[in-house]
Chain A
Amino acid sequence: MSDDPNVDPQADPKAAWQAAHDALQALSDDLKDAYDQAKTQEQRDILDDIATAVDDALTTLNQEDMASRTVDIQAAASDLKDAVDKLTKLKGQLDAIAGAFAKAAQVIGSIDKAVSTLSSFIKI
């Protein structure tokens, strides 16, 4: 709901949201000034109650604004996942190069061990 009569919430929901937020923010600031000038505790209590309600409404509007970007953020997270998968694959390919040398060293070690075992068994 917009407090600004010039904004059509159907045509431009973002502008309508901002108009409502601006109006409430101005009210919140006015209430703060009024609270600072209040002379009695009764006045302060009333102003504090109203200001708390206005703050709650502003919080709700800020939560709505955050929620309006959640779908786009989820889509962006999915793009990131795709890039992370590609980088993980590349890392695997790079690791495999060093892994090939590790495998060769392992095979040579195994051959050495096997020949050593066999030679002591069959006395070659």
Chain B
Amino acid sequence: MFVVGCSVSPLTKRAVTFSTAATAAATDTANAYQMVEDTYYQAQVASLVVSFDENGFDPNSIKAFMPEKDMEARTEVIEGLHEYAELLAEVSGDAPVTALNTQTQALGTALQNFSTDNLKSWAPPAADVNLAVTALNGLGRILIERKRSRALPGILDQMKKPIEDICALLQEDIGDPRKSGLRNQLKNSYAELIRKQQQYIHKNEASMSAADKRAEIEKLPKLAASQAQGDRVLAKTQRELADMAKAHTALAETAHQKESPTFRVLVAQLARDGEQLNDVYRSLPTK
């Protein structure tokens, strides 16, 4: 058995914590676009149902809310955030040290397992092999830590402004329920869904049974509740993006500090945002 030590810097621990929360924030942001897209689609289908007898079905009439080129740019930046967060975790986490442990142990085993008698005769004693392997492992860890502590602060610092800009742009995309963005589009799509549902009831009530009419009317308050829930989720996603920018800035600015209470508070808030949103997005109906 070879002895291996442990020395992970505070920055690398913080980077791993940030990366987990940032990955969740990126997923929630992708879900925000998808939720608005799904609702826009449902509103178009509701409109088709009401106007079908008069206008029939034109396959080109159903369109995506986000034009392809604009959505591609968002997808690319969200995937970039995912990749950035994942790589940050990979280089900051235990993986390089675990790989080092595995390989140094393999080296020790190779030294001890000479199969030929000729080599066995000059193979070092097991105790010496253990000592050498432990020393080599320690050296490897120092090299890993040195490389990380030299490169990571620079990368984090370089990404401070881009991450702030990305979060601000995505928050602007989410917008305001009355003024702009995804929140306004969601509000208007639900207004259309509700109006078209009312039109459907009024146009068909003569041929509906009382139970059918009741079932159709019961959909109206459900739509209103979904609208309110959807807007709350988008508002939370907006806050999550703001928290992600703040946590990343704190991570970059405290790269050389042993303790960072500010970062701890910010990343805990970001993690809470992510936990709450993840469940809500998964529970929302899709098209």
Residues of chain B in range 159-212 having any CB-CB distance to chain A below 8 Å: 159, 162, 165-166, 169-170, 172-173, 175, 178-181, 184-185, 188, 191-192, 195-196, 198-199, 202-203
Determine the main DSSP class of B at the interface with A: helix
Query: Does B66 contact A108, Cβ atoms closer than 8 Å?
Result: no
Q: A51-B195, A70-B73, A77-B80 are in contact. Are A105 and B188 (CB under 8 A)?
A: no
Chain A CB within 10 Å, residue with most, of B96, B102, B203: B96
Query: Does B91 contact A59, Cβ atoms closer than 8 Å?
Result: no
Query: Does B91 contact A98, Cβ atoms closer than 8 Å?
Result: no
Query: Does A90 contact B195, Cβ atoms closer than 8 Å?
Result: no
Interface size class of B (residues with CB under 8 A): 35 or more
Query: Does B155 contact A87, Cβ atoms closer than 8 Å?
Result: yes
Stretch at the interface among B113-121, B228-236, B262-270: B113-121
Min CB gap A28→B, angstroms: 7
A83 within 8 A of B: yes
B16 within 8 A of A: no
Could you give, for residues 4-41 of chain A, a 1 whenever the CB lies within 8 Å of some chain B CB and a 0 otherwise? 00000000000000100110010010001001000001
Contact among B40, B70, B170, B198 with A67 in the assembled complex (CB-CB below 8 Å): B70
* Cα–Cα distance between A93 and B143 once the two chains are bound (Å): 10
* Cα–Cα distance between A70 and B152 once the two chains are bound (Å): 29
Q: A66-B66, A69-B172, A79-B159 are in contact. Are A44 and B103 (CB under 8 A)?
A: no
* Cα–Cα distance between A81 and B151 once the two chains are bound (Å): 16
Q: A93-B147, A99-B103 are in contact. Are A55 and B87 (CB under 8 A)?
A: no
Chain A CB within 10 Å, residue with most, of B67, B81, B166, B192: B192
CB within 8 Å of A: which residues of B?
A: 40, 47, 50, 65-67, 69-70, 73-74, 76-77, 80-81, 83-84, 87-88, 90-91, 96, 99-100, 102-104, 106-107, 109-111, 113-119, 136, 140, 143-144, 147-148, 151-152, 155, 158-159, 162, 165-166, 169-170, 172-173, 175, 178-181, 184-185, 188, 191-192, 195-196, 198-199, 202-203
5 A-B pairs with least C-beta separation:
A80-B80, A101-B103, A79-B162, A98-B99, A87-B87
